C-alpha cells in the first residue's frame, strides 16, 4: 500500500485514515475493513510502529493508529467512534443491527475484542511479556519501552491475567457462533455482516495468523502471532477460524494489502 506522509495528508481534504504502515495491525486492519464495508474511500496515511511519530502527534494529538481525519473535523481514534463515523457517512447495509438489543450485543462483542482490557489489549500484554521477559520491565529499559508499558498497563501480573481473559473471550465468541449457526446464521449477531464480525476476523490474526501468502507480514511477526501458548491453542475452537476465513473470503478480500 502506498501511504501519504503526514505533511501530504494535511494538505488534502476528505477522508484520511492513519494506519500502521506495512504490518497488519489489528486495529488498523479493522478500521480499513469497516470503512471498506461501508463503501468509503480514504487516503491512507503512514504511522510508523514504535516511532515517536512527532508530526502525527502535532496534527492529531495521537501517535497511534488508526486515526480518521475527515476534512477539518476533530480526529476520530476510538474503535467505536470509527464504526459510528462509518455508519454516519458511509452507504449500504449498516454494520449494526436494527433491533436495539441486538445492536447492544453487537457493540458489546466488539468491545470485548477491541476495547481496553479486551482480546487485542490482552494479547498485546502477553506479547510484551514475550519481548521483555517474564518479570516487570526494568526502569533501565529504553524510554520507548517504558512509555509503551505504562500506556498499556504492562506488568507481570497483568500479563498473567491477560491469558485467562483471552480464553474467556474465545469461549464466549465460540458459544455465540454456535448459537447463531443453530439459528441458520453465519454471523455473530443477526443475519448480516456486522462490525463485530469484521473485528473478530482482523483480531484473530493475533493468535492464528492467516498464511503469509494471504497476509504478507514479516516472518518474525507471523511467528510471534502464531506462538500464543498452549492455553490459547486449546481455547481456539475451530468454529472461530471457520468464521474468520468466511468473513475474509466474502467481505474483506485476500490477499491483504498493507
- At 5 the pLDDT is 98
* 123-142: average pLDDT: 70
Final residue in a domain of this structure, among 61, 89, 117 = 89
Are 69 and 151 contained in the same domain? no
- At 154 the pLDDT is 79
Final residue in a domain of this structure, among 89, 121, 152 = 89
Tell whether the model's pLDDT for residue 187 goes beyond 90: yes
Final residue in a domain of this structure, among 36, 68, 89 = 89
pTM of the predicted protein model = 0.94
pLDDT digits (tens, 9 = 90+) for 133-173: 555 666 666 666 666 677 777 787 888 899 999 999 999 99
CATH number at residue 49: 3.40.30.10
- Where would I find the H helices in 138-204? 143-152, 156-182, 195-203
Q: Which of 26, 4, 51 is nearest to 215 (CA)?
A: 26
CATH number at residue 150: 1.20.1050
Residue 177 CA to residue 26 CA, distance in Å, equals 21
pLDDT digits (tens, 9 = 90+) for 20-37: 999 999 999 999 999 999
Q: Domain total for the chain?
A: 2
All cell numbers assigned to 114: 477491541
Q: Which runs of E-coded beta strand occur in the chain? A: 15-20, 43-47, 67-70
Residue 66 CA to residue 207 CA, distance in Å, equals 21
Residue 196 CA to residue 113 CA, distance in Å, equals 8
Are 85 and 115 contained in the same domain? no
pLDDT digits (tens, 9 = 90+) for 204-254: 999 999 999 999 999 999 999 999 999 999 999 999 999 999 999 999 999
Name beta bridge partners: 20: 47
C-beta of residue 76 within 8 angstroms of C-beta of residue 70: yes
Name the one residue in this structure whose C-alpha cell is 445492536: 103
Are 37 and 117 contained in the same domain? no
Which domain range does residue 156 map to?
A: 100-252
Q: How confident is the model at residue 127 (pLDDT cuts 50, 70, 90)?
A: confident
Are 134 and 221 contained in the same domain? yes
- At 160 the pLDDT is 86
With left for phi above 0 and alpha for psi between -120 and 50, is residue 253 left, alpha or beta? left
For residue 66, cis peptide bond before it (omega within 30 degrees of 0): yes
pLDDT digits (tens, 9 = 90+) for 64-115: 999 999 999 999 999 999 999 999 999 999 999 999 999 999 999 999 999 9
Q: How confident is the model at residue 7 (pLDDT cuts 50, 70, 90)?
A: very high
Are 111 and 215 contained in the same domain? yes
Amino acid at each position: 500500500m502506498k501511504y501519504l506522509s503526514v505533511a501530504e495528508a494535511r494538505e488534502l481534504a476528505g477522508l484520511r485514515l492513519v494506519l500502521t504502515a506495512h504490518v497488519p495491525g489489528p486495529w488498523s486492519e479493522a478500521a480499513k475493513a469497516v470503512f471498506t464495508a461501508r463503501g468509503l474511500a480514504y487516503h491512507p496515511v503512514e504511522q510508523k510502529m514504535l516511532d515517536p511519530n512527532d508530526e502525527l502527534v502535532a496534527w492529531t494529538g495521537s501517535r497511534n493508529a488508526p486515526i480518521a481525519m475527515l476534512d477539518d473535523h476533530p480526529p476520530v481514534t476510538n474503535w467505536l467512534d470509527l464504526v459510528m463515523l462509518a455508519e454516519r457517512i458511509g452507504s449500504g447495509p449498516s454494520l449494526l443491527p436494527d433491533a436495539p438489543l441486538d445492536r447492544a450485543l453487537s457493540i458489546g462483542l466488539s468491545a470485548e475484542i477491541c476495547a481496553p482490557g479486551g482480546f487485542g489489549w490482552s494479547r498485546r500484554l502477553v506479547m510484551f511479556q514475550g519481548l521483555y521477559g517474564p518479570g516487570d520491565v526494568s526502569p533501565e529499559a529504553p524510554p520507548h519501552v517504558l512509555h509503551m508499558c505504562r500506556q498499556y498497563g504492562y506488568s507481570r501480573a497483568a500479563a498473567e491475567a491477560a491469558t485467562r481473559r483471552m480464553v474467556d473471550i474465545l469461549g464466549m465468541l465460540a458459544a455465540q457462533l454456535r448459537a447463531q449457526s443453530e439459528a441458520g446464521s453465519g454471523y455473530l449477531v443477526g443475519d448480516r455482516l456486522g462490525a463485530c464480525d469484521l473485528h473478530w476476523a482482523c483480531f484473530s490474526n493475533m493468535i492464528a495468523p492467516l498464511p503469509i501468502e494471504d497476509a504478507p507480514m514479516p516472518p518474525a511477526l507471523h511467528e510471534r502471532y502464531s506462538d500464543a501458548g498452549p492455553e490459547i491453542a486449546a481455547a481456539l475452537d475451530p468454529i472461530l477460524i471457520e468464521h474468520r476465513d468466511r468473513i475474509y473470503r466474502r467481505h474483506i478480500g485476500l490477499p491483504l494489502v498493507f
